[in-house]
Structure 1
Amino acid sequence: MMMWSIWTSKNNLLWKDIPWNISEIVHRARNSRQNWTLANHRPLDARGIPGPTSTTQWSPPPHGSYKCNFATFPNPDENTFGIGFCIRDSLGSFVGARTLKIPGLPPASIRDVIALMQAIILASENQYSPILFESSSSRIESFFLHPNLKDRTEFSGIMNHCRNKINSYKINSCANFNVSFTHRSANLVAANLAKASKYYANLKDFAYIPNCIFSLIVNELS
């Protein structure tokens, strides 16, 4: 995997004039190895066909892009819920983070979609593009994968608003926003930020890695 990653960087330098970056080479090799391992250890279904894979470790986004992981956490004592956002680049480097405290305690699915809306706002404010919004809500990803699926729930109403906002940014500012699902164990940084939100002001931005996620960030880079 390492030789393949080096070969890829060599071609990028030759054909795309993209400079060598040792950290990126290592990350690419590690992630390719992980994906290969997952692909070769998938359980078989009744027909003997490998089942779907699930990513259990955070992985960086493609070269030149960002990833925003987000999660929510209920605070019933305060009748609020917290949202945590963490933005990292294609090298896995910390770019920024935000915690947000929202009044009220709606169902988990509504909290998740409110978090997505706030993540879109955060990305547009800071011009993070292209960017992948990643959460542990499979329902959010499913909604984007099936655009013709319609219902009259509050969840769908907010999700349609999110989708319209994403499409608007793509048209007006050429921003490239996408959404995906990840396993909870690959979303621990955002989850810890969401839990810590109760100790900060209603909105708190971090230019440096906060203590509550420092060890997680370091471990995911190693």
Structure 2
Amino acid sequence: MHCLWLCEHAQAVWKSEISFAPYYRKGFRRLFDLLEEVLCKGSAYHVALFSTIAWSMWQRRNHLRVNQSVWSIQEVRDRAKALVAEFLDANKQDAKPRASSTPAHWAPPQDDFYKVNYNAAIFDTMGHAGLGVVIRDCNGNVVAALSLKIGLPHSVETAEALAALRAVVFAKELRIFKVVVEGDCLKVVQALKAKERCNTLYGIVIEDAHSQSASLQFCQFLHVRSEGNKLAHTLAKRAVLSVDFDVWVEK
């Protein structure tokens, strides 16, 4: 309750939003009582924003404890609003399929470059996700592959972003510095390609991927349809169904 509501930093965030400031006049000392009031009195948007701000502050606290990059306390409210708006917008979009120019099949990179494909597989009932990465040379030969089991992330996009980050790090570990990094989750690829900061729940992972890729000689993020990403998907499923962690490197 203290770090989410009562401390000085938390109060600065909540009181900056006019709809939450009145709750302080009621002197809540238990999180359950505060949440009950929000659920009873607030609209769906109000509840969503309250939950997202609280989650953002808790995540910020956890990242600070392990010296990871975080949003500044002044950014929390606006970034939480952006996340809620993004969620609401995504859930009202027309679901009609659109024509796409995204390649459906895997294609080799240009000479002296490597293509790094990544994918994530979610297993809700098992409480885990798998990450798969495969690196091929310009002739289409597999030079390295990776399977890694992780705890279940809060969204498919977060799992895909973590797979993209692991793909970049894997290339660096193998001293491969000219890469095309390819995945089949369009939202994550768009975030990786964007120049502006990513204001999503997986934004910090995107920032880490950008930071890691900056030390490569060349790194381009591309989208491919799932038909062109089958091997990475198989590796991702293998991480959960058979092995926790496995790396193969061509000698």
Relative to the length of structure 1, the TM-score reads 0.63
Q: Deviations over 1:120-139 (max 9, x none)?
A: 11111101120111000111
Q: Which has the larger radius of gyration?
A: 2
Q: Please give the alpha-carbon distance, in whole angstroms, between the structure 2 residues aligned to 1:81 and 1:90.
A: 30
User: Which structure has the higher relative contact order (CA within 8 Å, separation 6+)?
Assistant: 1
1:78 aligned partner: 126
The 4+ residue runs of structure 1 with deviation greater than 4 A are: none
Tell me which of 197, 201, 204 is aligned to 2:243.
201
Q: Which residue of 2 aligns with 1:179?
A: 221
- Between the aligned partners of 2:186 and 2:202, the Cα distance in structure 1 is 13
Which residue is equivalent to 2:230?
188
Per-residue deviation, residues 51-107 of structure 1 (Å, max 9, x unmatched): 752211110111111111111111223211001111100000111111000022421
For residue 147 of structure 1, the aligned residue among 192, 195, 198 is 195
Q: Is the 8 A contact 2:180 2:219 kept in 1?
A: yes
Please list the CA deviations of residues 132-187 of structure 1 after superposition, one character each: whole Å capped at 9, or x if unmatched: 11000111221233312542x321222112112212x14xxxx3222111011111
Residue 66 (structure 1) aligned to one of 114, 121, 124: 114
DSSP-derived class of the 1:77 partner: helix
Backbone CA RMSD of aligned residues: 1.8
Alignment: residue pair count: 152
Residue type of the alignment partner of 2:213 = I
- Cα distance between partner residues in 1 of 2:235 and 2:141: 17
Q: Which TM-score applies when normalising by structure 2?
A: 0.56
Match in the other structure for 1:101:
149
SS at match of 1:102: strand
Q: Which runs of 5+ in 1 are unaligned?
A: 1-50, 209-222
How is 1:44-59 mapped onto 2 (pairs within 5 angstroms)? 53-59=101-107
The verdict on how the C-alpha distance between 1:145 and 1:86 changes in structure 2, with shifts beyond 3 A counting, is: closer
- Identity of counterpart residues, as a percentage? 18
User: Matches of 2:153 and 2:208 in 1, distance apart?
Assistant: 20
Do the aligned partners of 1:76 and 1:105 also contact (CA within 8 Å) in 2? no
1:119 equivalent in structure 2 = 167
Counterparts in 2 of 1:99 and 1:186: CA distance versus 1, 3 Å? same
Inter-partner Cα distance in structure 1 for 2:181 and 2:221: 5
Q: Alpha-carbon deviation of 1:193?
A: 1.1
| Cα distance in structure 1, aligned partners of 2:166 and 2:145 | 12
Letter matched to residue 171 of structure 2? A
Residue type of the alignment partner of 2:207? N
Q: Which residue of 2 aligns with 1:46?
A: none
Unmatched segments (≥5 aa) in structure 2: 1-98
